[in-house]
A and B are shown apart, each in its own frame.
Chain A
Amino acid sequence: MDLSLDQRYLDFREQVRSFVAANRADAPPSVTSRDRGAPTQEALDWQRRLIAAGYTARTVPAEYGGFGAEPDMLETMIINEEFSAAGIQAGLAGIGIMMLVPTLLEVGTAEQKARYIPKAITGEEWWCQGYSEPGSGSDLASLRTNGRLDGEEWVINGQKIWTSGAHFAQMMFCLVRTEPDAPKHRGISYLLIPMETPGITVSPLKTMTGRSEFNQVFFDDARIPAGNIVAGRGEGWKVANVTLKHERGGLGDPAKSIARFDGLVKLMREETINGQRAIDDPLLADRLMQLEAKMLALKLNNMRVLTADLEGNDPGLARLVTKYYGTTLNHELDALAIDAMGELGVLYEDGDYLRDEGAWQAWYMHDLGLIIGGGSTNIQRNIIAERGLDLPREPKAVIPPQGMGGRG
C-alpha cells in the first residue's frame, strides 16, 4: 500500500492549483436546475483555455487539436480532484468528448480523426448518441433502423429515441442495421451522421424535469456519404462496446460523488430545523455517515482500479460494479439533501426559498436518468453476474404467437 505520489506529481498538483486559482473567476457556473442546452459561449471559451493549458483533452494528440500529453491516469486524477475541490468544471462533458473521441482514437481512420476530433473537443461540433429505439433499449442489439448502400451513399430509414441533445447537436454517432441477413450482433454498423442531412427530423420530448433534454429522431431516406462509417460493415456492435466502456467508466466517477457529498455537508451545515442545524439531527447525520462510508468506499475502490490500470492488469469486478454503485449512491445523496430541506426540498426552478439554485431536485431527477441510461440497474447486475461472476446467461423465453398466449 503506497498512497504517496512522486515529486513530479506533487509539482503537477501545484501547477493545477495555481491555474485554478488564477482562472477560476472565468469558469462558467456549474449546472443547476436550469436548462442543459447547447454550451454557452462562455463555456466554449473556457473549454479552449483548458485545452491550451492541458487540463481537458489532455491526451488527445496535438495533430487533432489536443494537448498531446502521454496518457497518465494520476495526472488525470489530480486534475479531476483539484477542479472538483474548487467546484468548477474540468471542461465540457458532452457525449462527443466523453465517448466519440476516445472511440475514434481507438478505431477511427486517420481522416476521421482529423475531420471530427478537433471540432468535437472544442465543442464547436456537438454530438449526440443515436443508439436506443422504441423497440430496442436494454436489448440494444435488436435495433431496426436500417441503412442501405446506394452507390456512394448510405440511405437511412427508421427511428431513434431518448437521444439526448439531438435538438442542438450538429452530428450523431449512430447504430444502424446494414446487414439484415447477418446474425443480430453482426448486422450493425456505426455511422457518423450530420444532423442537417435532409430526411432527418428531430422531435423533442419533454422529460420529467420539465424540459426537453432528449428527443425522437426520425430518418426518412436520409443520405450520408458511404465513408461515414467507423470500422467495417457489421462491426458496429464491437465499436459500440468500445464506446460503452467509456460511458460506464464516466457514470461511476467518484469525483462526482465526492463533489455531491461535499455539497450535501455544506447544505446540512447551513440548513436549520427548529433552530438546529440539519447536520446535528441524529437521524439525518446517521444517513449522512452511511453515505460517507459508501462515498469513501467508491473513491478508494477507484484507486484500486487505477492501480490495476497503471500496472496493465484487469481490475475485474472492482470496475464492473462502479456504474451501478456510483449512480445509486449519487441518487441517495440527492435524496438526503432533499429530505434535509424538509418541505423546502420540493422547491424548484425559482423563488426566494430555493437552496443551491434548486440543484438537488434537478439532480434527483437527472441522476435517476443516469441509473436508467447507459445500461439500467438490472442490466448492470446481469453484466456483473455474467461477465464478472461467470454465471450462465438467461435462457431465451418463447414469445407466444399473437392470439394464442393472451387471456382473450
Chain B
Amino acid sequence: MRFGLSLEQETFRDQLQRLLADRAPLDRVREVAADGNGYDERLWSGLTELGAMGVLVPEEYGGLGMGSFDAGLVVEELGRSVAPAPYLGTAFVAPLVLSESGSNSLAAEWLPRIAGGEARIGLALGEAVSARAGAGVVVNGGRLSGKALAAMDAGAADAFIVSAGVEQLWLVRSDASGLTRTPMTSIDRTRALAELRFDEVEAEPIAGGASLTQRALDLARVALAADTLGAADAMFQQALDYSKQRVQFERVIGSFQGVKHALADMITGLEPSRALVWYATHAQTEMPRDEAHRLACHAKAHLAEVGRMVARAATEVHGGMGFTDDLGLHYWFKRIGLDRQLLGSPEQIRAEAAAAMVA
C-alpha cells in the first residue's frame, strides 16, 4: 500500500512545475488573460512535449495510457499556476469519454491528435446539470438546435463534447455550419467560457448513452476539484508567506493569533482535502464506477466549500494588498470561483450523492 505519489510521479510533477514557472509566470498569465481566450501556444506545446496531453490517451492511439491520478496531478499544477490551458476538456475528459465510448472512429480520429497536442476539445455539459432559462439543446434527425451556456475550454476548441439533455453526448466540430460561438465574459480570464448556438448543426453521436454523460460529468467535476486544490494551495502559501513579512504594531502579522488561527484553519481544511482529491482522481480509472461517481461528487462539492473559505481568508490576510490587481492574488480567487460554479452547485451535487446513497 502506498497512498501518494510514486517516484516517477514526483519527477513528472517537478518537470511540470518547472515548465509552468518558465512558461506561465504571473506576468505571462496576465498577458494571456487579457484576450480571455484561455490558450497559450507556447505553454500548450511545452505541456505536449512533457507528455501531459497523452496521459489518458490509450497507447494504441499514441498516448501514454496512464491513470486518472496522473492527469489529476497535471490539473492540480495548472490550478496552482492559474495557467491558461484548456487541459480539462481536452486531456482529462475527452480521452476517457472517447476511448470508453462505442464510437471507435471518433476515437481513432481525435485521440492521436489530442496526444500530439494538435486538437483541443471544449465541453458543453451544462445542460445535463442545470439548464438555465433560454438554454437547452434538442436533437432532430441527428442535428442539434438550441443553446448551450458556459461551455468550458471554449476559446481555442476544435470540437466540443455536447450533452443534449442527459441521454446522449455529441461531438460537434467548431467549424460545423450553423454553430455560433460567442465568448461569455467571466470573472476568470484564464479560461474561456462561451455560449454555443446551434442551428441544425451536424453532430456525431458519441455512443454510450446516459451513463457516458454521467461519466463525462464525473470526470469534469473531479478535475475542477483538482484545479481548486492547486489554486487554493497556492493562495494559502502566498498568505502564509505574506504573514511572515508584513509588519504591523512592530510585529509580523503572522504572530497575531487571529491571523495565525486563520492560517491554521485554512490548512486544516486543505490538508485532508488533498487526500480526498487524490483518491477521487485516482478512483476515476482505478475503481468501480459507483465509487468513482461518489468520490467525484464529494470532491467537487467539498473543494467548492474549502476553496471558497481559503480564497476569502487568504485574500483577507493580505489586507488592502490582497484587493489590488497588482498583486494578482485575484487570479486564484477567480479561478476558484469559476470552479465552484461550473457543473453543479455543492448543494446540487450533494443531492446527487445522497440519492446515490439511498438508492
A binding-site residues for B, Cβ under 8 Å: 1-5, 9, 74, 265, 269, 279-280, 282, 285-286, 288-290, 292-294, 296-298, 300-301, 303-304, 306-308, 310-311, 317-318, 321, 324-325, 378, 380-382, 384-386, 388-395
Contact = CB atoms under 8 A, between A and B. Distances in A.
A388 B267 contact: yes
Contacts of A303: 1, 3, 275
Given A381-B264, A388-B267, A297 B3 contact: no
Chain B interface size band reads 35 or more
A313 to B, nearest CB: 10
Interface stretch (B57-65, B146-154, B308-316, B351-359): B351-359
B255 A286 contact: no
B2 A382 contact: no
25 contacts: A1-B2, A1-B67, A4-B1, A5-B1, A282-B354, A290-B301, A293-B276, A296-B276, A298-B272, A300-B272, A306-B3, A307-B3, A317-B267, A321-B271, A325-B272, A381-B261, A381-B264, A384-B264, A384-B267, A385-B263, A390-B244, A391-B240, A391-B255, A391-B260, A391-B263
A392 B4 contact: no
A385 B276 contact: no
Interface in B101-158: none
A74 B357 contact: no
B257 interface: yes
Given A292-B298, A301-B274, A378-B261, 7 more contacts: A1-B6, A2-B6, A290-B305, A292-B353, A293-B298, A321-B267, A324-B264
Interface in B218-270: 240, 243-244, 251-252, 254-255, 257, 260-261, 263-265, 267-268
Question: Nearest 10 A-B pairs (CB), nearest first?
Answer: A300-B275, A297-B272, A289-B350, A381-B264, A293-B302, A285-B354, A303-B3, A301-B272, A297-B276, A385-B260
A321 B351 contact: no
Contacts of B347: 286
Contacts of A391: 240, 243-244, 254-255, 260, 263
B185 to A, nearest CB: 32
Nearest to A386: B260
B302 A294 contact: yes
Contacts of A392: 251-252, 254-255
A38 to B, nearest CB: 36
**Interface secondary structure of B, over-half rule:** helix
B278 interface: yes
A296 B358 CA distance: 18
Contacts of A318: 271-272, 275
A297 B263 CA distance: 19
Interface string B258-299: 001101110110011111101100100010000000010111
B69 interface: yes
Contacts of B260: 381-382, 385-386, 391
A300 B279 contact: yes
In this complex, the member of A2, A308, A386, A390 whose beta carbon has the largest number of chain B beta carbons within 10 angstroms is A2
B267 A300 contact: no
